[in-house]
Amino acid sequence: MKALFHVNELDRWAHALLNITNLLRDVGTGEVTVEVVANGPAVIAYRLGGDDVLRQMDELHAKGVAFVACRNALQMQNIPEESLAPFVTVVPAGITEIVRKQAMGYAYIKP
């Protein structure tokens, strides 16, 4: 299985992370590939700062979850890429990443 979570609102992170945790618990970490694409204001959560959301992301990353940030959104939010958590990958455009992953058979999930 392959799942693509799309988060573009900052207040949707808790729900998205809970969905991912439940998915991994249900099917097992070796049975699903998970990527999270953040764009819009949601990229703010990727900044280093030590809050609970970032800690949960780090724990999920340790279980194989990929976290991706849209460079366009980072620029719109005036967030330098150097200030992101080390597990975050930056892509030129989040929407392009979403389209590519869907073409690769990822299930699109918008918490």
| Sheet containing 107-109: order of strands | 88-91, 66-70, 33-38, 2-7, 107-109
Give the model confidence (pLDDT) of 84-97 as tens digits: 999 999 999 999 99
Q: What pLDDT sits at residue 48?
A: 81
Give the model confidence (pLDDT) of 14-73 as tens digits: 999 999 999 999 999 999 999 999 999 999 999 986 688 999 999 999 999 999 999 999
Question: Which residues on adjacent β-strands are paired with residue 8?
Answer: none
**Residue range 103-108: mean pLDDT, rounded:** 98
Q: What pLDDT sits at residue 49?
A: 67
| 11 CB burial (10 A radius; 0-12, 13-18, 19+) | exposed
